[in-house]
Structure 1
């Protein structure tokens, strides 16, 4: 996306959208770990994903090649990756809960901003999304509240979930806190 000067500023680009996404995500889910520096956005054939070049405290956001010319898809992918910027692990290994939360935020963002009902294409992400929706149905502020006890979303434990949200059930708590497997069915 090219930034075009408009009255009072510039048109939306992926970078300005990222700022909007972070503000909204922080409001909903709590503060971002600012010890990590977000370097920017790039396009890569294996995207979308985040990666940690040179140091675990630098983060680059990689979007798919398709996102470079499809602004809604680009915003969907970027909204998903923006959630991973809240409490990065410094390495791969996000939990089902974090991936589901990222998927939910992305779906909600493109619906709110563009009126588009985005489909979740991979079964593993749909399952993670569905599980997170079960938790958030109990308390839409659950993530923000749980982060007061464990700041890093992917380090939430089943015990933490059950202590604060016993109605979620042990099986769902275990699944949410397990390591996400992208190619799982």
Structure 2
């Protein structure tokens, strides 16, 4: 089970909590420090899609992942890594741009591939498209998120103009698409366990 720590020679086995610490450190290293005015409460499970939520609207954040991944550490980490990116610059609202959702999807894929050697198929075309936009930007500069967050610390508030000024060689349509509000299509396929 992904919630129970077991004693090993130099400490304890990986749990979702310690994996969250690892992925948050990696996300901050790659994309800049998180907004520490929000307090991370922890991880909980729910029947619906994974998300972060702001209980009490008082600066607290809880990460919710799905019950079907309780006994599947790589898939639990995929969901957790995605939500981890939303911890970097939370707004207290559910509206984000394609840049933030694409970065969350990009990071989740990267984390699970590097840590578990596992490929996870995209659950929705909109997430895949946003991830590909981010990959296009990061191909120009792997530090692009840090560079842009020096101008606008909140990822979901980064504008097309800010992207274009920092990266004039990026296709303007890509910059505009990154800055646009993210819209997940209805339906899609459920996030299946990867093979």
TM-score, scaled to structure 2:
0.92
Q: Distance in 2 between matches of 1:47 and 1:8?
A: 35
Q: Distance in 1 between matches of 2:137 and 2:170?
A: 6
Q: Distance in 2 between matches of 1:36 and 1:166?
A: 34
Match of 2:173 in 1: 171
The alignment's C-alpha RMSD in Å is 1.2
- Runs ≥4 in structure 1, deviation > 4 angstroms? none
5+ residue gaps, structure 2 = 189-195
Count of aligned residue pairs for this structure pair: 185
| Aligned-pair CA distance for 1:56 | 4.4
Q: Distance in 2 between matches of 1:87 and 1:19?
A: 16
| Aligned-pair CA distance for 1:47 | 2.5
Match of 1:149 in 2: 151
| Aligned-pair CA distance for 1:8 | 1.6
| Aligned-pair CA distance for 1:83 | 0.5
Q: Distance in 2 between matches of 1:66 and 1:89?
A: 28
Does structure 1 residue 92 correspond to structure 2 residue 83?
no
SS of the residue aligned with 1:111?
Answer: helix
Corresponding residue to 1:16 among 15, 18, 41:
18
Kept in 2, the 8 Å contact 1:56–1:91? The answer is: no
| Aligned-pair CA distance for 1:170 | 1.8
Q: Distance in 2 between matches of 1:51 and 1:121?
A: 21
Q: Distance in 1 between matches of 2:121 and 2:160?
A: 28
For structure 1, which segment, 51-60 or 142-151, has the greater mean C-alpha deviation from structure 2 after superposition?
A: 51-60
SS of the residue aligned with 2:137?
Answer: helix
Q: Distance in 2 between matches of 1:78 and 1:182?
A: 19
Corresponding residue to 1:70 among 69, 72, 76:
72
Q: Distance in 2 between matches of 1:179 and 1:43?
A: 27
